[in-house]
Amino acid sequence: MPRKSRKREAIEDVFNYVIECGSRDLIFDNELVKKITSEKFSNQFDTTKFDNSSKLPDLLREKDYFIIHLGEGRHQFIKGINKGYHEFEKIPEDKIIDWRYKKSVLNDLYTSETSISSLINNQRILHDFLYEDIVAHPKVYNPGSTKISFEFFIDNKKMSVIKLQRKIDMILEYLNNVDIIEAKNGEVDDFAIYQLYHIFRWFCGKKTSEKLNIKKIEMIFVNKIIEEDLTKVRLRSYIFERVEVLNSIKLVKCAQYNLLKR
């Protein structure tokens, strides 16, 4: 049997500690993580991040718990993995598109996830997917990180996020519609919903507080997959049917672009 990763082992230790202490809300903070894992990790926040459910420690998967981030160094174990992770929808055959493009000098120079947004914007893939118009001229923003505070629900469980820092990869604004891009290298079976929800709620708050004339806000999850000589880009657009409910996520549309070099 392969050795359990140090990160997963550490979170199992934290989970057992919180359970043994009889905590009703199962909230813990970075100080506790540091206390338990100080000899193992220098970044306690990173220790609590699991972008897809396959990365969760075996104990959490067995007990059906995941971790939600509450800000100010606080986190919480929540029952019901299917409430915190959303399974990627299969791309229909009629939505798989061969996309011819001429490779540019800098295309493959950068491999970071932020470079994926640049690729699909420069190659007009975003324009085709979002607007069905490759000559559309949306405004593009790369705002970096922001701090977020709001109340929300997972099913009927009320929770609060306070000054949680989140990164935004790219924002497009076109005809008063806002599309927010979250990009990842590779693809797995599912993703942590908070990756989209936190930023969605920040924009909803700004729309109200700043009285912004935004017609709709959609979250675009992008996966870049390299298979031998073929690069695939999968895009899925999501909304939240109930603004205050994290697990009310719903697919709007999806497509896969096979990049064929000219």
* Same domain, residue pair 47 and 116: no
Stretch 172-191: mean pLDDT, rounded? Answer: 95
* Same domain, residue pair 129 and 243: yes
Dist. CA 34–CA 20, nearest whole Å: 18
Could you list the residue range(s) of the whole structural domain that residue 66 is in?
6-79
Examine the pLDDT at 138 and tell me if it is beyond 80: yes
Q: For residue 1, is it within any domain?
A: no
Examine the pLDDT at 1 and tell me if it is beyond 70: no
Which residue is listed with tokens 């995941």?
66
* Same domain, residue pair 100 and 66: no
* CB contact at 8 A, 254 and 235: yes
Stretch 79-92: mean pLDDT, rounded? Answer: 97
Examine the pLDDT at 218 and tell me if it is beyond 70: yes
Question: pLDDT band at residue 136, thresholds of 50, 70 and 90?
Answer: very high
Examine the pLDDT at 81 and tell me if it is beyond 80: yes
Domain finish residue from 38, 56, 79: 79
Question: Which of these ranges, 26-30, 44-48, 234-238, has the smallest mean pLDDT?
Answer: 44-48
Domain finish residue from 79, 95, 129: 79
- How many other β-carbons are positioned within 10 Å of the β-carbon of residue 171? 19
CA atoms 112, 98, 180, 227: torsion sign:
negative
* Same domain, residue pair 236 and 199: yes
How many separate domains does the chain show?
A: 2
* Same domain, residue pair 58 and 174: no
Examine the pLDDT at 112 and tell me if it is beyond 80: no
Stretch 7-29: mean pLDDT, rounded? Answer: 90
CA-to-CA separations, 125 to 98, 106, 119, 242, in angstroms, rounded: 11, 17, 8, 29
* Same domain, residue pair 58 and 126: no
Percentage of the chain modeled with pLDDT above 70: 92
The H or E element that residue 122 is part of is helix 113-122
Domain finish residue from 79, 112, 127: 79
Examine the pLDDT at 243 and tell me if it is beyond 80: yes
Question: pLDDT band at residue 176, thresholds of 50, 70 and 90?
Answer: very high
